[in-house]
A and B are shown apart, each in its own frame.
Chain A
Amino acid sequence: MTTNALVTDSDSGPVVVTGICGRLGRDLSRVLHRKRKVIGVDRRAFVDPPGDVEHHQLDIRSSRAREIFRHGVAAVVHLGVMHDPHESSVEHHDFNVVGLQKVLEYVDLYKIPKLVLLSSANVYGPRPDNPQLIREDAPLLGAGPFSDIRDLVELDMLVNAFFWRNPGTDTVILRPAHILGTVRNAPSNYLRLDVVPTLLGFDPMMQVVHQRDVLQAIELALMPGARGIFNIGGPEPLALSKAISVLGRRAMAVPHSLAKAAVKNLFRFRLTGFPAPELDFIRYVCMVDDSKARGELGYAPLHGLEATLRAVDEERWLS
């Protein structure tokens, strides 16, 4: 009998990172590889990895992926969630849900003591009747108007169920607010626009969190003993218009009905990466109460509001 998990320590043993070739995954590998062995799994190639990162370029759904988890893995960080709204919803769903099910299967089978899922505060959904700061026990209503988030809600719930079924694994779900940085996600891309469209007469409060603060939260989640669901907010909330003015962008207010029709058509002709229902994110509030993460994980954002906002331009200065 060789249950590898028993001999490894979840604090220092090797960690498998799925979706490691995304910008967040690459940065995570750079943070983690100094302290422990990092094994990457991604369909994409890892350009310029740190020397000691072991990368497997394969689909997580393939049977070959099993081998990676078999021996002495101490933790799994699941970042491999696809968010490309232009991809067909069938492929999207299959990759995300079947991929995660494989991960859960291996974690269960090989008794891996730690699983971290990077979910998102978007699972709560922007709604007019949201509480200003949503707690972890709130229902996940994000998928209502916005079917692309349905995947993410499903993943979150799958891991939630896994958490209760497998008490031997310390399962952590992180639900960060809008992540800003060099990442290519919708909020960062939105704030990178030279002229930022807003909805006429709407100016919701929003939360932003620096990508390095998200990495910090993942590191804290990997600590032994940490388990449960944690919202991750950033520095203090601010109004959307304030964020745009801090970045020195020009805002262009468009009536909601017009914006909805325009974005719908632009999206269809692939002129924008924003699907129309995402407009609700600049219409209604979707902010989280992260006092649980601050209290139990010891999380505290290291980047202030201005630094977090300016992070979307970091790459511009580098190139």
Chain B
Amino acid sequence: MQRNALARLADVAQGTLPFLSRVAHAATRARDELRQRLLGDDFEERVHSLRHRYVTLGGDPFGFDPETARQAAKIVAVFHRLYFRTEVFGIEHVPPGRALLIANHSGQIPIDAAIIGSAMFFDGRPPRVTRAMVEKWTATLPFVSAFFSRVGQVVGLQENAVRLLEMGELVLAFPEGMKAISKPFAQRYQLEPFGHGFMRLALRTQTPIVPVAVVGAEEQYLSFGNIEWAARALGLPAFPLVPQVLLPGGAMPLPTKYRLHFGEPMRFYGDADDDDSVIADKVWLVQQTINDLLRRGLRDRRGVFL
């Protein structure tokens, strides 16, 4: 009787096991395909080349950690490839050595910085770590401060930027500052006045400036305005009124299509400590270039979500 039961069990197993293994196989294949689509064939090579760079530099004094960055890149890749389906134009303009990426800032939360960083890592040849200049305020936030420094973000001070550029790094700055990120929807793609710090930095360190236009971030959250007294009361840099977060799942940004337009590098010469009016002219040139890239990007895009 018992033998019989075992035999029957064996029969069942014979029938189902190949099926199960086929399912497992298909699942593995699907996972590999997804992984390949998200991360590309050469993900590990890209990580390795970065690891190698910082080992030869003798570690990074700002706390960049390739292992944390590797995990973060996997998560950002989902947004970069699947969610926002980023299209990247002109990334070959980014010079191989030190460079300063100057971009428009938008989208209520700084996803634009993450996507630019992700593009430089996944689409750049060779892969680069983007060192974004972040608000000093973030250094006081638990988890955020630790995470930012592990993935290569740096508190936005001129001294830090000079040090990074002297190390040959790629520095990303948003000269519009915090006020641009919390713009209401009605003011989308209108540049706020640029600060002058980045131009003095570029002049001081003889660094080429690469203008970057980010198209698609403005529509991810529809903001009706910024409630300043609420921001002040809560000690936040901004308190945007975004009704969509009240809907289920509305905390996620809308899946707009991101388009990054990298312009040709701009080189400036002159005295870094010159008068504001002299610097302002040079800053204006960069601002106009980004504005042109934005207008062209907006004109040529098929749709907000397509």
Contact = CB atoms under 8 A, between A and B. Distances in A.
B143 A201 contact: yes
Interface string A187-215: 00000000000011111110000000000
Contacts of A168: none
Scoring A133, A202, A204 by chain B CB atoms within 10 A of each residue's CB, the highest score goes to: A202
A131 B160 CA distance: 6
A129 B136 contact: yes
Interface in B168-201: none
A262 B120 CA distance: 45
Contact of A200 (B140, B142, B159): B142
A129 B159 CA distance: 11
Interface string B139-181: 1111111100110001101011001000000000000000000
Nearest to A236: B59
A150 to B, nearest CB: 23
Contacts of B141: 201
Contacts of A284: 139
Interface string A45-56: 000000000000
Interface residues of A, number: 22
A149 B142 CA distance: 25
A238 B157 CA distance: 21
Given A128-B139, A129-B136, A205-B149, A236 B155 contact: no
Nearest to A133: B61
B140 A128 contact: yes
A236 B61 contact: yes
B61 A237 contact: yes
B157 A131 contact: yes
B131 to A, nearest CB: 11
Contacts of B157: 129, 131
A202 B145 contact: yes
A157 interface: no
Interface in A111-149: 128-133, 135
B136 A128 contact: yes
Given A128-B155, A131-B157, A205 B62 contact: yes
Chain B interface residue count: which class? 20 to 34
A198 to B, nearest CB: 10
B225 interface: no
Interface string A236-256: 111100000000000000011
A135 B163 CA distance: 12
A287 interface: yes
Nearest to B149: A205
Interface string B52-64: 0000001101110
Contact of B59 (A130, A203, A237): A237
Interface majority SS on A: helix, strand, loop or mixed? loop
B142 A256 contact: yes
Nearest to A131: B159
A132 B141 CA distance: 17
Contacts of B137: 128
Nearest to B146: A203
Contacts of A128: 136-137, 139-140, 145, 155
Scoring A201, A238, A287 by chain B CB atoms within 10 A of each residue's CB, the highest score goes to: A201
A129 B155 contact: yes
Interface string B110-137: 0000000000000000000000000011
A201 B146 CA distance: 6
Interface string B232-259: 0000000000000000000000000000
A135 B141 CA distance: 25
Contacts of A129: 136, 139, 155, 157
Interface string A282-311: 001001000000000000000000000000
B63 A239 contact: yes
Given A236-B59, A237-B59, A287-B61, A132 B154 contact: yes
A308 to B, nearest CB: 14
B56 to A, nearest CB: 13
Contact of B146 (A202, A237, A287): A202
Nearest to A200: B142
A128 B141 CA distance: 10
A104 B248 CA distance: 70
Given A128-B155, A129-B155, A202 B142 contact: yes
A10 B155 CA distance: 44
Interface in A222-247: 236-239
A204 B144 CA distance: 12
B61 A255 contact: no
Nearest to B156: A129
Contacts of A204: 63, 145, 149
A141 B61 CA distance: 22
A306 to B, nearest CB: 13
A132 B163 contact: yes
Nearest to B141: A201
B63 A205 contact: yes
Contacts of A199: 142
A132 B160 contact: yes
Given A132-B154, A201-B142, 19 more contacts: A128-B137, A128-B155, A129-B155, A129-B157, A131-B163, A132-B62, A132-B163, A133-B163, A135-B159, A200-B143, A201-B145, A201-B146, A203-B146, A203-B150, A204-B145, A205-B63, A205-B149, A236-B61, A237-B63
12 contacts: A129-B155, A130-B155, A132-B61, A132-B154, A135-B159, A199-B142, A202-B142, A202-B146, A203-B150, A204-B63, A205-B62, A239-B63
Interface of A: 128-133, 135, 199-205, 236-239, 255-256, 284, 287
* Shortest Cβ-Cβ A-B pairs, 3 listed: A201-B142, A128-B139, A201-B143
